[in-house]
Amino acid sequence: MSRTRSSWSPKQPTNYHHRRNYHQSTEDDVKGGRGGLNGNNNALEWRLCGRSGLIKPPRAHYDNVSGMIVLNMDHFCPWVANTIGYANYRYFLLMLFWTFVGCAYVVLMLTPRVYYYGIGSKLYILVIYVTAFSFSVVLTMFLAFHSFLISTGQVVCSM
């Protein structure tokens, strides 16, 4: 359910001036219990990034390649040329899935031809067949691994 204009009332507090700028927070604000659970030193506590000096949310990591703090960072993917994290993990999985479907389709369409002609078929057909088959096997392993990570609530960086 989305918030519409009709659900807003002027009695709701709108004074946010007590909050300081995100970049002006100090280490005392983070260690003083403003972002952690009961002030304990655990994995769910907000902390300062040692490289950028900004506040890091829980389960966030600094990415050396992009120079940014990435929430729920999984890994840097050279095929996407970006860091896979909270904002684009879904699209990464969809890319894996549809690439697998495309490779499996090529393998299924070329299997009768390769089976009928065997090694005597044209070289480019064999190269395409072997490449698509290899990619589909690798993508199956990637999809199985990332399905396991999703089912257990993990990311590659936390393993």
- pLDDT for res 146: 93
- pLDDT for res 90: 93
The confidence band for 64, taking pLDDT boundaries of 50, 70 and 90, is confident
Q: How far is 147 from 100, CA to CA, in rounded Å?
A: 14
- pLDDT for res 106: 96
Dump pLDDT digits (tens) for 5-57.
444 444 444 433 333 444 444 444 444 444 444 445 566 788 888 888 889 88
91: its two tokens: 């699209």
Dump pLDDT digits (tens) for 87-110.
999 999 999 999 999 999 999 999
More reliable by pLDDT, 4 or 148? 148
| 60 pLDDT higher than 60 | yes
Q: How far is 139 from 45, CA to CA, in rounded Å?
A: 35
For the CA atoms of 65, 69, 72, 74, the dihedral, rounded to the nearest 10 degrees, stands at 10
- pLDDT for res 100: 97
Is residue 49 annotated as a catalytic residue, yes or no? no
Mean pLDDT across 114-133: 88
Supply φ then ψ for residue 48, to 5 degrees. -90, 140
Give yes or no for a contact between 70 and 63, defined as CB atoms under 8 angstroms apart.
yes
Q: Which of 49, 77, 103, 157 does the annotation list as catalytic? A: 77
Dump pLDDT digits (tens) for 136-156.
999 999 999 999 999 998 888
- pLDDT for res 79: 86
